[in-house]
Amino acid sequence: MYTKLFQKNYDLLRWLYPAVNHMPKSQRFVLGNRMETLGLGILEATIGLTERDSRIVRHRILVRIQQLQTLVRLSKDLSFLSFKQYEHASSILEEMRHLLQTGGGRMDKTFEQICSFRNLESAYRKARKGKRAHPEVAAFELDVELNLLELKRELESQTYRPRPLREFVIRDPKTRRIAVPDFRDRVVHHTICNVIAPHFERSFINDSYANRKNFGTHKALARFNVFKRKASQNNRLVPHALYSAMVSGFCLKADISRYFASIDHRLLMNFISKRIDDPRTIALIQTILKAARPEGKGLPLGNLTSQFFANAYLGQLDDFMKHELRARWYIRYVDDFVILHLSGSVLKQWKREIDTFLISLGLRLHPEKSKVRPLHGGISLLGFRVFPHHRLLKKTTVRTWKRRLSQDSVSQETIRGWVTHARWGNTYRLLQRIGLSSTHRTLGDGNHTEIQE
């Protein structure tokens, strides 16, 4: 607990000094100095806590954290801090407060944090990002404070009930049923994740890349390149290799069959209850799950809470991989994961053990998509096919985007986003063929550009 607390102190001071220096001179020596004094006071008291842990010292730190939170909020209201700066500082201070109150264990007072107006305001800003032109968002914004206060009242009185989901089917290229919640429900989803996500984050391994800040698909692809070199002993060729890319090493590429639809609410809540000790927060999560899937099984695609809990639930698989199988080169992105190893037979044995473990979570591996393959044959990963010395977009991805780009309604922002994603592969000829090569620049490992069609 002390190590985490010192790390948060360091993060706080590293943020605090540049933020104060950018304040107007008239406030830098009044408000800024007071904030700096409180920050150093928290650090000094934390040092005292390591020497003698007592309730008095903890209370002293908590009081100073509360005072600093008030000054940070005031600085934001006076436009001395941006909302992003305010949100960053608030999250650090909240985590420090939680560590002092719980010692980093189960979260036992989450409901008050979820219902706080500051959290509701932050959740509202996140939920509206990029969607302010939508009619339901505009309607909510007409009287935003009244709507947030109404949500706060419903949450505190435990009378909140989610509105029906708007469901539709997409084929891109797989057929998926998407469930879109009402805007006010999206705000509630963000309020929950704002509070509990930092606690769950501490339990995630470094190689879980979905639904996490500063992670994502491109970081996962870069990490796969590192593991690929290690598993192949720096691209060492197999005996009697037929061509220069026939490197050693194997990969178990696996996928969980119908993952979101297979999650059992009872097992999921048992897992969440081990982390959260507040019955009102547990009841709120159960209300959201039951409203979406009354039958008690499955999570709807399109909900923030579904994405978060689906990723967190498989943290148990991560622990099994690291502590039981001791897999060194393992990467997971939600329900897709890869394990690399020098031996194919070891991976086949691990696959059987993983399948057995997943049964305890109410899940199973996809029989067709979970196979052990040699690295030199290319591995399908996150929309790309990764070979020893280059990376290509999958054919299905290329066909889908060619169809989208042919539509008149496609925006320039969408095109730029796709080109940025495509740059992580060797796609110069593809982008040249569709008239986008002038903006092309290979990212990732910097290999020369080619294209498979």
The neighbouring-strand residues paired with 276 are 107
Whether the CB-CB separation of 430 and 451 falls below 8 Å is answered with: yes
Planar angle of CA 386, 392, 393, nearest 5 degrees: 115
DSSP-derived secondary structure for 309-372: HHHHHTHHHHHIIIIII--SEEEEETTEEEEEES-HHHHHHHHHHHHHHHHTTT--B-TTT-EE
Cis peptide before 388 (omega within 30 of 0): no
Which tokens belong to 385? 């096919």
pLDDT computed for residue 22 by the predictor? 83
Distance, CA of 305 to CA of 311 (rounded, Å): 10
Q: Is 234 helix (H, G, I), strand (E, B) or coil?
A: coil
pLDDT tens for the chain, residues 1 to 453: 567 777 888 888 888 888 888 888 777 777 888 888 888 888 888 887 765 656 777 888 888 888 888 888 888 888 888 877 887 888 788 878 777 766 555 555 688 889 988 899 999 999 998 888 888 999 998 888 899 999 999 999 999 999 999 988 887 667 888 899 999 999 999 999 999 988 888 888 999 999 888 898 999 999 999 999 999 988 888 887 787 788 999 999 999 999 999 999 999 999 999 888 889 999 999 999 999 999 999 999 988 999 999 999 999 999 999 999 999 999 999 999 999 999 999 999 999 999 999 999 999 999 999 999 999 988 998 889 899 888 888 888 788 777 777 776 777 777 787 788 888 888 888 777 776 655 444 444 544 333 333
pLDDT computed for residue 313 by the predictor? 94
pLDDT computed for residue 447 by the predictor? 43
pLDDT computed for residue 374 by the predictor? 93
Q: Is 408 helix (H, G, I), strand (E, B) or coil?
A: coil
pLDDT computed for residue 287 by the predictor? 94
Whether the CB-CB separation of 444 and 221 falls below 8 Å is answered with: yes
Distance, CA of 285 to CA of 288 (rounded, Å): 5
pLDDT computed for residue 286 by the predictor? 94
Whether the CB-CB separation of 147 and 140 falls below 8 Å is answered with: yes
Residue 319: partners with Cβ closer than 8 Å, 6 or more residues away: none
Distance (Å) of CA 167 to CA 178, 183, 292:
6, 14, 11
What number of other Cβ atoms are within 10 A of residue 350's Cβ?
21
Quote helix, strand, coil % in the chain, to nearest 5. Answer: 60, 10, 30
pLDDT computed for residue 60 by the predictor? 83
Residue type (1 letter), 335: D
Whether the CB-CB separation of 251 and 340 falls below 8 Å is answered with: yes
pLDDT computed for residue 442 by the predictor? 45
Edge-to-edge strand list for the sheet holding 336-341 = 329-333, 336-341, 250-255, 371-374
Residue 269, H or E segment: helix 265-273
Whether the CB-CB separation of 338 and 379 falls below 8 Å is answered with: yes
DSSP-derived secondary structure for 115-144: H-HHHHHHHHHHHHTT-TTSHHHHHHHHTH
